[in-house]
Amino acid sequence: MTRELHEERKIKASVDGMKFNTTSHIQRDKPGKKMRVYLFPTNENAMDNYLNRRNRDRSVWRKITLQVMREYGFQNSKITFSQKAGCGCGCSPGFIVDIKNGLEMFINYKQLKK
- Rounded to whole angstroms, the Cα distance separating 2 from 57 reads 33
- Cα dihedral 62, 50, 18, 72 in deg (nearest 10): -50
pTM for this predicted structure = 0.89
Domain spans of the chain? 9-111
Residue 110 pLDDT > 70: yes
Average pLDDT score over the chain: 90
Q: Is residue 107 a contact partner of residue 6, using CB atoms and an 8 Å limit?
A: no
User: Taking 50 as the threshold, does the pLDDT of residue 1 lie above it?
Assistant: no
pLDDT in tens, 9-25: 999 999 999 999 999 99
CB 36 within 8 A of CB 97: yes
- Residue pLDDT, tens place only, 59-81: 999 999 999 999 999 988 999 99
